[in-house]
Amino acid sequence: MTWLGIVRSQLRFTFSLGRRSCELAVLLLAFLQVTPLLGAEKNAIEGRAEFQLFRNAMQDIVVRCIYRVSERDVLVGTLKALKKELGPKFTAILPPGLERKDAEEAWLVYQQTLRELAQSADTNQSLKSLVELSLRGYCRTLDRYSTYDDYETWRKFQEFGEPDYTGVGVTVIEGREQDFVCEPIRGGPAERAGIDEGDRLIAVNERSARGATGMLIRTWLGESGKNPVKLRVRHRNGKEETVTVSKEQIQYTPVSVEENESGVQIALHQITERGVADLRNSLRSIDPSRSITLDLRGCSGGTLQFAVVAASIFLPAETVVAKLETLKGTETLLSTNATPYKPAKLTILQDRLTASGAELIIAALRSYAPLKAESYGEKTYGKGVTQDVVKVSGANSAGETVVQPGILTITDSRIYGPNGEVWDQEGLPPSRGEIRP
């Protein structure tokens, strides 16, 4: 009811009584009722843009996330995550029974809580930064791959995304406990400076890697022009060390080939369009009568599409490469290769940093019996899911851009091997042993 409507209703009540004292009292009551309504209307306007960004992100999560979450799940989860992220700075009081509230009630609690925190001197953060922090914290509760990044971080990441670049020559992959594992390019500046494969990244130029996203870490590595970068790492023996790494032009080759008397060893470092093309071209020049060793050690994966293409190089058409579980159901991914490469013998090398698409390749090649592929090394990393990267709209229902957009990386499918093999969070053990004979 509007302010004028409240006053009119109260006046009608007063005239029926016919007492002046009651009239004054009721008018005062009307004023007291209107005051909080005016304040609520003002608060509804304040933060409208930031909350619209949140609603857009929430809808993207609900319609894409393989874990089948509801709007209520997201609202309650973001509030809990924000409380954990802020720690003692979380001065708001969450109502009892929050988890039992429906989506509409939880939405009101979310808005009121974030407005209260934004006005708190202890928090000292803008409403937008709190919205983004709540989304980032919630995504971390889904799995170790789902993240939320601000638009500026994403923009910088695009600048440093070229395959040949000036940098320190190290790839970082997400660890199992919200940390990052270093994978230096062989012979690159990071490896020469003392960064070993499997080192845990603690800080970049004294900025803690704890709680950061993979995209943010990569932008830190690309910043500061050509100046050296200080990397603080924890080696596998537990010793911590700060290593200064110079930048240089990195001519990154996703495939390298070595020949010896026993056969040909092909190392696939990254599963990209360029990597798959180089792998195919390398095999064209090798006599199929020779033994092939496919080295996937340290290969952290790449795009699902190119992982399927890479495996299909060795598999005939209509052979099952993998199975994909999405919100729409199960999809079977098949080879379309009419002329597969048939080596005399195929051996695969793997280690604890072999992940994602590289694990898919191993499962596919080992499952195809005529190939008789065997693998040696360590149990793999264990990533059997894919992510969708979405630019979260900063527009309102009218299509007007009201706030800078964000970038949501959300897990949207699970991957299984041809025979239902599961490796997510478990890894694939080698088929023949820890040490190659």
Separation CA 15–CA 19 (nearest Å): 7
DSSP 432: S
112-116, 169-173, 403-407, 432-436 — most confident range: 112-116
SS3 string, 1-53, reads CCHHHHHHHHHHHHHHHCCHHHHHHHHHHHHHHHHHHHHHHHHHHCCHHHHHH
Average pLDDT over residues 92-98: 93
Q: Is the pLDDT of residue 358 over 50?
A: yes
Average pLDDT over residues 105-123: 94
**pLDDT > 90 in the chain, percent:** 61
Per-residue pLDDT tens over the stretch 40-49: 334 444 468 8
Q: CA of 205: how far to CAs of 158, 219, 274, in Å? A: 21, 12, 31
Q: How many helices (H) and strands (E) does the chain have?
A: 12, 18
- Host H or E run for residue 323: strand 320-326
Give the model's confidence band at 254: pLDDT under 50 very low, under 70 low, under 90 confident, else very high: confident
Tokens of 43: 């608060």
Short-list 116, 138, 118, 134, CA closest to 126: 118
Average pLDDT over residues 260-265: 88
CB 151 within 8 A of CB 170: no
Per-residue pLDDT tens over the stretch 290-336: 999 999 998 989 899 999 999 999 999 999 999 999 999 999 999 99
3-state secondary structure of 326: strand
Query: What is the structure's pLDDT at 326?
Result: 96
A 10 A CB-CB count for 343 gives 22
Give the model's confidence band at 398: pLDDT under 50 very low, under 70 low, under 90 confident, else very high: low
Q: Where are the alpha helices (DSSP H) in 87-213?
A: 103-118, 127-142, 151-159, 189-193
Produce one character per residue of 362-390: b if its CB has 16 or more CB atoms within 10 Å, e if not. Answer: bbbbbbbeebebbbbbbbbbbbbbbbeeb
Per-residue pLDDT tens over the stretch 276-300: 999 999 999 898 889 999 999 989 8
Per-residue pLDDT tens over the stretch 9-23: 333 333 333 434 444
Q: CA of 158: how far to CAs of 151, 162, 209, 220, 305, in Å? A: 11, 8, 20, 13, 21
Q: Is the pLDDT of residue 434 over 70?
A: no
Query: What is the structure's pLDDT at 45?
Result: 45
18-32, 209-223, 359-373 — most confident range: 359-373
Q: Look over the chain and give the mean of its residue pLDDT values, rounded to a whole number.
A: 84
pTM of the predicted model, to two decimals? 0.78
Q: Is the pLDDT of residue 394 over 50?
A: yes
3-state secondary structure of 248: strand
Per-residue pLDDT tens over the stretch 118-173: 999 888 999 999 999 999 999 999 998 999 998 888 777 776 655 566 788 888 87
Q: Is the pLDDT of residue 181 over 80?
A: yes
Separation CA 354–CA 380 (nearest Å): 5
Q: Is the pLDDT of residue 74 over 60?
A: yes
73-82, 171-180, 218-227 — most confident range: 73-82
